[in-house]
Amino acid sequence: MKSLRNSVQLIGRLGKDPEVKVFGEKRRASFPIATTEVYKNQKGEKVQDTQWHNVVIWGRLAGIAEKYLRKGAEVAVEGRLIHRMYETSGGEKRYITEISVNDLVMLGSKQ
């Protein structure tokens, strides 16, 4: 059985086109995806809850994301959670959680 430690699987839609950066021979694509859950609350009203997730893809998959993915595209991603800290130019510490993608499946029809 595949290891379940630090494993994330999501299906969602891109919030914007992938942003690609090249570091030497390594390519990195990043973009937000939205996952939406629809349910009824205690009053029977329909509630739509959307969560945003930061996604990072490296290497060959980053090239595929750059070439084929656009804002609004539906994707399934599998990866692991990464928590990191960085400093702004003003010296302020910021914390971010990202999904480092191992596998990507493009869903929906061809455009």
* CATH code (residue 99): 2.40.50.140
Burial class (CB in 10 A: 0-12, 13-18, 19+), 36: exposed
Return the bridge partners of 26, or none.
23
Q: Which pTM was predicted?
A: 0.83
Is 1 within the bounds of a domain?
Answer: no
Is 30 within the bounds of a domain?
Answer: yes
Is 64 within the bounds of a domain?
Answer: yes
The domain of 91 spans 8-39+46-106
| Domain count within the chain | 1
Is 111 within the bounds of a domain?
Answer: no
Is 75 within the bounds of a domain?
Answer: yes
Kindly report, residue by residue over 5-64, the tens digit of the pLDDT.
Answer: 899 999 999 999 999 999 998 999 999 999 999 999 999 999 999 999 999 999 999 999
SS3 for 12? strand
SS3 for 68? helix
* Cβ–Cβ under 8 Å, residues 53 and 12: yes
Is 81 within the bounds of a domain?
Answer: yes
